[in-house]
């Protein structure tokens, strides 16, 4: 017998489904309420982080490297099974505001004094750094805080330098400074470079980078107090995230990661030459635009960053398409006759052919390395092979492995490259003697040119995102006010 369903039966069935659905939501909500903050982040799979967009802490672009603090927080996110969602901030005050609003889980401001807010938790420190008072090199510069004259030192309101200035004042009560509203540290450094502002305060790591972009800035003196890098979280009664972060940082400090990150972001930036920097900035403006499209095409076809190829070309030829060395290599990428034939270049002096040929050859070298080698080591080893030859590089990698170091890491291979110019070492290798110190210098210079070019082009982007400077609204900060 067939049973006929009435409209009433259908209505009761829909009601039962609806109540089951509501009940399920209630159960899920109750379960969610019982989860810790860390567990909620893990269940959603996303860690929201506020980062100040100031290199080398964070490069907010798609490139080979993303920033010193970014690398560390990325490692943490992976350790808890989450993806990063970066929220860009200008100042440490912006970071704290985002935390208090619940828009981010973690705030990273880099090296700074402990933020004076009971609702903000600071993690364990993972790096200590100096702070400098800087000025324009054209001017006589003070040698101590007591020599800083009134109305000459300026920082961005709400910034880390403003926080440092407040700490300095506790030891030097007569010290006062000016704060520029709605600004950031990058903008202040630019104004000092233009000699519109006399002095400012900057973290040593930030200065190490920005002196290449603003070469007129110079250290007047270094403040005696060092500060630590810490991550910030909001105090909400749940310490699960803060405890997890501290556990991660404790393990991080005991690993070899700090040395690797220092080598990646800082060591190659130690050698600063004012004249070379001015020359490089000048050629970025007048020569690079002539070849920029060629670098972009070659990068796209060979899976490189166009700025990486441009940095190689600058080291090789200073972007002179008629360049020629005493050994006979020629053109923008300084190709030998043999290499040119190998990559199909008929005219080494043709800019487009030279750039495309150089990119193809770099790609061949990169592909010849073992697949297990990861970035950025893969790129640095590729550059070394471009300079000294793949055979000599492999000889050094064997030496590196024999001596107990890692042949897949540039920081280890770099140490042993000079050995192939020493008889007791090169006589045991397959390819013999080579000037092993040259690829070391070659790679360091290209890494520096690459980072400066990234910095330069990033500023072109960020300047359009910054609020306009209002130079007539400086705020006096003084014990007397």
Task: Going from the first residue of the chain to its last (481 residues), give the mean pLDDT of each consecutive group of 10, the final group possibly shorter.
Answer: 47 56 49 80 95 84 80 94 92 92 92 88 91 96 93 90 92 90 89 94 94 97 92 88 95 91 90 95 97 97 96 97 89 95 96 97 97 95 97 97 96 96 94 96 96 88 71 53 33
18 and 78 together in one domain: no
Judgement on whether residues 13 and 58 belong to the same structural domain of the protein: no
Measuring CA to CA, how many Å separate 423 from each of 192, 398, 407, 427, 428? 51, 16, 21, 6, 9
Full residue range of the structural domain in which residue 94 is found: 40-127+229-268
Q: Which residues are catalytic?
A: 316
Do the Cβ atoms of 53 and 462 come closer than 8 Å? yes
CB 313, CB 358: distance < 8 Å: yes
Residues 6+ apart with CB under 8 A from 280: 212, 314, 449, 452
Same domain, 106 and 65: yes
Task: Examine residue 118 and state whether it is found in any structural domain, yes or no.
Answer: yes
Statement to judge: residues 50 and 119 lie in one domain? yes
pLDDT of residue 274: 96
Task: State the maximum Cα–Cα separation within the chain, in Å, rounded to a whole number.
Answer: 105
pTM: 0.86
Cα distances from 392 to residues 15, 18, 362, in angstroms, run 77, 72, 16
Joined together, the tokens standing for residue 339 give 């290499």
Would you tell me how many other CB atoms lie within 10 Å of the CB of residue 175?
19
Specify the CATH number for the domain of residue 105: 3.40.190.10
199 within domain boundaries: no
Identify whether 429 is part of a domain: no
* Shared-domain flag, residues 11 and 123: no
In the chain, how many domains are there? Answer: 2
| Same-domain status, 84 and 15 | no
- Boundary residue ending a domain (209, 243, 268): 268
Distance CA(336)–CA(319), nearest Å, equals 17
User: Do 53 and 19 reside in the same domain of the chain?
Assistant: no
Selection from 365, 415, 363 nearest residue 388 by Cα: 365
Note whether residue 233 is domain-resident. yes
Q: Do both 49 and 11 map to the same domain?
A: no
164 falls within a domain: no
What DSSP line would sit under 294-346, residue for residue? HHHHHHHHHT--HHHHHHHHHHHHTT-TT-B-TTS-BTTTTB-HHHHHHTT-S
Could you tell me how far CA 29 lies from the centroid of its own chain?
A: 40
Domain boundary among 268, 297, 331: 268
Residues 73 and 50 in one domain: yes
Please name which of 180, 209, 182, 220 lies closest in space to residue 197, comparing C-alpha atoms. Answer: 180
């Amino acid at each position: 017998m067939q049973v006929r369903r009435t409209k009433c039966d259908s209505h009761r069935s829909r009601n039962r489904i609806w109540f089951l659905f509501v009940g399920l939501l209630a159960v899920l909500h109750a379960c969610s309420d019982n989860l810790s903050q860390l567990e909620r982040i893990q269940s959603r799979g996303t860690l929201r982080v506020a980062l100040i967009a100031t290199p080398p802490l964070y490069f907010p672009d798609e490139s080979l490297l993303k920033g010193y603090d970014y690398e560390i927080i990325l490692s943490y996110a992976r350790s808890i099974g989450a993806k990063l969602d970066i929220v860009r901030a200008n100042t440490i005050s912006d970071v704290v505001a985002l935390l208090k609003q619940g828009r981010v889980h973690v705030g990273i401001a880099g090296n700074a004094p402990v933020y004076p807010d009971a609702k903000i938790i600071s993690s364990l420190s993972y790096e200590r750094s100096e702070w400098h008072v800087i000025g324009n090199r054209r001017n006589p510069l003070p040698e101590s805080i007591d020599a800083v004259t009134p109305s000459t030192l300026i920082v961005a309101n709400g910034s880390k330098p403003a926080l440092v200035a407040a700490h300095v004042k506790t030891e030097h009560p007569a010290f006062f400074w000016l704060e520029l509203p709605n600004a950031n540290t990058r903008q202040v450094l630019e104004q000092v470079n233009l000699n519109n502002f006399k002095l400012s305060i900057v973290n040593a790591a930030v200065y190490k980078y920005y002196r290449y972009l603003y070469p007129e800035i110079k250290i007047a003196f270094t403040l005696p107090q060092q500060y630590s890098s810490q991550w910030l979280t909001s105090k909400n009664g749940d310490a699960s995230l803060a405890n997890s972060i501290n556990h991660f940082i404790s393990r991080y400090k005991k690993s070899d990661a700090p040395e690797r990150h220092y080598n990646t972001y800082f060591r190659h930036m130690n050698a600063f030459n004012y004249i070379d920097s001015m020359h490089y900035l000048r050629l970025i403006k007048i020569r690079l635009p002539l070849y920029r499209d060629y670098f972009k095409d070659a990068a796209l076809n060979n899976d490189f960053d166009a700025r990486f190829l441009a940095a190689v070309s600058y080291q090789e030829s200073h972007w002179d398409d008629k360049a020629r060395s005493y050994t006979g290599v020629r053109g923008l990428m300084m190709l030998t006759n043999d290499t040119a034939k190998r990559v199909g270049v008929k005219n080494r002096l043709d800019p487009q052919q030279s750039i495309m040929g150089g990119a193809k050859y770099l790609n061949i070298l990169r592909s010849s390395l073992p697949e297990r080698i990861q970035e950025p080591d893969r790129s640095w080893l590729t550059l070394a092979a471009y300079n000294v030859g793949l055979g000599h590089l492999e000889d050094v990698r064997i030496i590196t492995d024999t001596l107990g170091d890692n042949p897949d890491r540039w920081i280890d291979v770099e140490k042993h490259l000079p050995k192939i110019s020493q008889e007791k070492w090169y006589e045991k290798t397959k390819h013999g003697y080579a000037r092993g110190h040259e690829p070391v210098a070659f790679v360091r210079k290209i890494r520096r040119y690459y980072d400066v070019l990234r910095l330069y082009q990033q500023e072109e982007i960020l300047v359009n995102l910054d609020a306009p400077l209002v130079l007539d609204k400086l705020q006096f900060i003084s014990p007397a006010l």
